[in-house]
Structure 1
Amino acid sequence: MHVLLIEDDALVAAGIRSGLQVHDFVVDVATSVAEARAMFDGVVSDAVILDRGLPDGDGLDLLADWRAVGRKEPVLVLTARDAVADRIEGLQEGADDYLAKPFDLDELVARLQALIRRSAGRARSLIEHGPLCLDSVTREVTLAGRHVVLSRRELVLLEAFLQSPRSILSAERLKDSLYGLSEEVESNALNVHIHHLRRKLGTGIVKTVRGLGYQLGEASVTSSKNSVR
């Protein structure tokens, strides 16, 4: 899952980014309103973490602009402004959650997971798709009750499909879920990850929609001893 982190304190941003990456989030960092506008238009994010005190403006003004043009990505405001009036203002301007600094990283992760879960219309962490189950919190995948070993990239890719089971996802959209803007991506990287998912979860798990992208298909039990145990 991709998170856009808008935070001008380099030390705080580095800590958040490292902590989120442990939980399989792909994180891009913007340090100003201007940079955030450019990034938000160039990448599809599953959630946004937004500081208010940015060097070129208030993060809430940026949020208000996004909501005015219909952007619906879940936004968590993370700021030192912790007065009740500040919290109310943030929520009224379109924030989905509001967390004051200093904060606990585990709480931030839990709040992000809840925001993404609710934005996908789910009430719990377990995502079920036929015999396939993914727990978005524990990061465990089972197929017909048996544990499936997936790499980090494969897990993130599978989660992207499960979050939007009826949607056709473009290659660029899937790459946004897998890689940050600063990462070098091999031209065949996405195809390699899709190939591995098909080998471990059945050839029908990812359907190719010619000219448009990819769509979640049906999982089937595989006999691969290396992927299921």
Structure 2
Amino acid sequence: MRILIVEDEPKTGDYLLQGMTEAGFITDLARNGPDGLHMALEGEYDLVILDVMLPGMNGWKVLETIRRSGHDMPVLFLTARDQVEDRVQGLELGADDYLIKPFAFSELLARIRALSRRSKAPVVEILKAGDLEMDLLRRRVHRAGQRIALTPKEFALLELLLRRQEEILPRSLIASLVWDMNFDSDTNVVEVAVRRLRAKVDDPYSPRLIRNVRGMGYVLEDPDANQ
């Protein structure tokens, strides 16, 4: 799935680009209205994430031009403009969804999946590693045929590890993508969450899938991939 982000605020744009890439999407970033419009019209994107207040051309005009050009890819407004009339205007111009800043990254991903299901764009529904299986649509996890109950944060953490399996994920990246927070070395929230997750998906089974790489982070390894 290819996503175009049109966002002029540097920190937000970089955060979205990293998050979408880590979630497994092919992602491009435009930092102003004219560039975003050009990329949307010339590229073959499955989804556009669009801010309203953009330099050169605002998001309303970008969306209006996209629709007048005959492009029907889903467009999600991600903006700080939270008035009812703003949301109405965006939807009437042809937006498919409207999310207010500040936002939770997990909610953004859920909305992207919902838009993907409504469009023709394919979306990964099942993630696997060995005998561990995650159903993203039904939000269910099984290992060795047994259902495992996870909290929303545990589910999000396991989803990230599964999507990036075989790669060592730094604690800072995990904290940013799962908790929408900057990593603080004095905070052990990641370690505690991983320990609780392993107690559910690893300790009762063999082999163990989630490994701590000292001084670097965590990795989920698929035993079948190493055979």
TM-score (norm 2): 0.55
Q: Which residue of 2 aligns with 1:219?
A: none
Larger Rg: 2
Q: Helix, strand or coil: the match of 2:5? A: strand
When the two chains are superposed, the root-mean-square deviation of aligned CA atoms in Å is 3.5
8 Å CA contact 1:63–1:95 kept in 2: the answer is yes
Q: Which residue of 2 aligns with 1:40?
A: 40
Identical pairs, percent: 39
Shift of 1:24: 0.5
Q: Which residue of 1 aligns with 2:98?
A: 98
**Residue 125 to residue 88, structure 1, CA distance change in 2 (3 Å):** farther
Structure 1 runs not aligned, ≥5 long: 127-132, 153-224
Q: Helix, strand or coil: the match of 1:53? A: coil
Structure 2 runs not aligned, ≥5 long: 127-132, 146-161, 165-222
Matches within 5 A, 1:111-126: 111-120=111-120, 125=125
Letter of the structure 2 residue corresponding to residue 54 of structure 1: L
Shift of 1:90: 0.4
Aligned residue pairs total 145
Q: Which residue of 1 aligns with 2:187?
A: none
Shift of 1:42: 3.2
Q: Does 1:74 align with 2:74?
A: yes
**Residue 107 to residue 83, structure 1, CA distance change in 2 (3 Å):** same
Q: Helix, strand or coil: the match of 1:54? A: coil
**Residue 121 to residue 32, structure 1, CA distance change in 2 (3 Å):** closer
Q: Could you tell me how far apart the structure 2 residues matched to 1:139 and 1:39 are?
A: 34
Q: Helix, strand or coil: the match of 2:29? A: strand
Deviations 1:157-182 (A, max 9, x none): xxxxxxxxxxxxxxxxxxxxxxxxxx
Q: Helix, strand or coil: the match of 1:71? A: coil
**Residue 5 to residue 34, structure 1, CA distance change in 2 (3 Å):** same
Letter of the structure 2 residue corresponding to residue 67 of structure 1: R
Letter of the structure 1 residue corresponding to residue 104 of structure 2: D
Q: Does 1:89 align with 2:127?
A: no
Shift of 1:2: 1.0
Deviations 1:106-157 (A, max 9, x none): 10111011101111299x956xxxxxx99566999xxxx9xxxx997xxxxx
Q: Helix, strand or coil: the match of 2:95? A: coil
8 Å CA contact 1:117–1:125 kept in 2: the answer is no
Q: Helix, strand or coil: the match of 1:57? A: coil
The ranges of structure 1 where at least 4 consecutive aligned residues each deviate by more than 3 angstroms after the TM superposition are 133-140, 225-229
TM-score (norm 1): 0.54
Matches within 5 A, 1:175-186: none
Q: Could you tell me how far apart the structure 2 residues matched to 1:15 and 1:85 are?
A: 28
Q: Could you tell me how far apart the structure 2 residues matched to 1:77 and 1:100 are?
A: 8
Q: Which residue of 2 aligns with 1:21?
A: 21
